[in-house]
Structure 1
Amino acid sequence: MTTISLTDLDKAFEQGKPHHHPHLLKVTKNECNRLSFEFREFTGAEGRPERPEASWDGTLPRPVGDLLTAEYAAAYALWNDAAYVRTLKSVVTDQTGASAQWTAYTTARAALDDVYASLNTTPDTHWRATLSRLIIAQDAALEAATVWDRTARLIARVHCDYCDSSLGWRQAYERAGIDATDWLVRDIEDYDGTGYRARRVQETITDQRRHLKTIASLAGH
């Protein structure tokens, strides 16, 4: 952008008027020769800002083309951030009870761990009853994990689709007004197949049952 001098900026701006983005309010240039663009706030519902053909096909003077190129790059960055937040908010809103789903999963998982740990101190006379409770806890944890994974997969897809945004996940949640402090959402690839949390729970269940079979075998049952 150094091809546009401070004195030529107004002229380039005027020449580019038919092609400026509708949200553009003004453009300035500081003493370091860096352009700064001010836009009307993007909501993310607007169409993707696309650089006009005139900015690169040679029909405009080079300084005007350079100005438009920088302008649309700045416009896209702001629009992309806004679209990211808007989409994230829409997905979480549509998935009513996302926080409740996460809480249900963590509660069910903790209950599973507690019941399994209690086997170490369960008298033989109560062993079968505790095993029954364990099976119920295993099923509940797996179901809760599966429900959460469905929502988490949708959230992860949004993060993936807007990976070129300047916003990190935490910033996007904050701008969307979403309290995701405790949520553990993984990259979209981790939700292939049965889902990340469901796989972890199933692995735990498999390990638990393998251990119980070993105990039964050594005990002669």
Structure 2
Amino acid sequence: MHTIPLLHPLDDHGRLPRPVPAEAFVPQPVPAADVSRYHHPHFLRTEPTDFGAVRTCFRPFSGHEARPEMPLAAWEDPELTRQQKQELDRQYDAARTLWSQKRLRLRAAPVMRRAAPLWQAWKDAEAGLRRVFAEFWSTPDGMWRAQLLKLTDAERAALAAARAWDEVAEELSLLAAEHRREVGEDEDLPLETVAQELGLDASDWEISWPDEYKAGPYSWDSRTPMVRRIDAEAKRQRERLAEIARLAPTLT
């Protein structure tokens, strides 16, 4: 008698069991790793928006917190999927935007309160310089020397106001530039918006890029923007007065 070893035991009826189709062996999904330990401390939840995107909600930032950075351990964690790491990265981007906006508000507020009267003083001084020069058209011939004294006084006042404004404008420009580097142009919080929240109207404030306030390594001109404007206006006025002096030297 010969026996044949069976790969599978017979069933209760002495028959071999039916083979199980290969498609019945479906691998069970691996449970996703818990990412909550990597969440930013201010993270609350994510929720869908009306446009199919996802909104990330945080507790309010004070602006005094450390810069939000996704933990290095999260990037190196082998249990996290690529998608989980990308979602965490987006979470920290959103946190960094809110933190930077709050930080800008916090740091710019006292500077803006100082800037408001300085901007008005600058506008008044510039207008005063133009007004004093325009008065030459109605100044009697024998009074031109006195009017020239008024003009030089107006130039000095305008230059002082220009320097004061450029100093505070440079502070605001540096704050805005630092914020823009943190969040990018799409999430940039305009200084005008910050001013509105403080009850200030900054719609006509002239604030240049930070480079405009410092002479570069190959630049000989160290003047700031408003000082350059006053110098240009004073030069134009003096050239006109010099022309009049040549034509009618007895007036001065």
TM bucket, shorter chain: 0.7 to 0.9
| Counterpart residue identity of residue 128, structure 2 | A
Q: Name which of 96, 99, 102 aligns with 2:116.
A: 99
CA distance in 2, matches of 1:90, 1:133: 35
Match of 1:162 in 2: 179
Task: Structure 2: state its 5+ residue gaps.
Answer: 1-28, 215-221
Given that residues 119 and 165 in structure 2 are in contact (C-alpha distance below 8 angstroms), is that contact kept between their aligned partners in structure 1?
Answer: yes
Given that residues 44 and 83 in structure 1 are in contact (C-alpha distance below 8 angstroms), is that contact kept between their aligned partners in structure 2?
Answer: yes
Q: CA RMSD in A?
A: 2.4
Task: Structure 1: state its 5+ residue gaps.
Answer: 1-7
CA distance in 1, matches of 2:40, 2:224: 42
Structure ranking higher in helix proportion: 1
| Counterpart residue identity of residue 119, structure 1 | F
TM-score, normalization by structure 1: 0.84
TM-score, normalization by structure 2: 0.74
Match of 1:185 in 2: 207
The answer to whether structure 1 residue 38 and structure 2 residue 60 are counterparts is no
Q: 1:120 to 1:92 in 2, by over 3 A?
A: same
Q: Percent of aligned positions with the same letter in both sequences?
A: 31
CA distance in 1, matches of 2:153, 2:227: 16
Q: Name which of 158, 165, 175 aligns with 1:148.
A: 165
Q: Which range moved further: 145-154 or 31-40?
A: 31-40
Computing the radius of gyration over CA atoms, which structure comes out larger, 1 or 2? 2
Match of 2:47 in 1: 28
How many residues are treated as equivalent by the alignment?
A: 208
Q: Offset of 1:66 from its aligned partner?
A: 2.6
- Which structure carries more relative contact order (alpha carbon 8 Å, separation 6+)? 1
| Counterpart residue identity of residue 236, structure 2 | D
Given that residues 24 and 38 in structure 1 are in contact (C-alpha distance below 8 angstroms), is that contact kept between their aligned partners in structure 2?
Answer: yes
Question: 1:16-56 CA deviation, whole Å, 9 max, x = no partner?
Answer: 11111000111234697633211001121111100112332
Q: 1:60 to 1:36 in 2, by over 3 A?
A: farther
Match of 1:127 in 2: 144
Q: 1:218 to 1:168 in 2, by over 3 A?
A: same
Match of 1:81 in 2: 101
Q: Which range moved further: 71-80 or 187-196?
A: 187-196
Q: Name which of 34, 49, 54 aligns with 1:15.
A: 34
3-state SS in 1 of match to 2:76: coil
Given that residues 101 and 144 in structure 1 are in contact (C-alpha distance below 8 angstroms), is that contact kept between their aligned partners in structure 2?
Answer: yes
Q: 1:87 to 1:144 in 2, by over 3 A?
A: same
The answer to whether structure 1 residue 201 and structure 2 residue 230 are counterparts is yes
Match of 2:89 in 1: 69
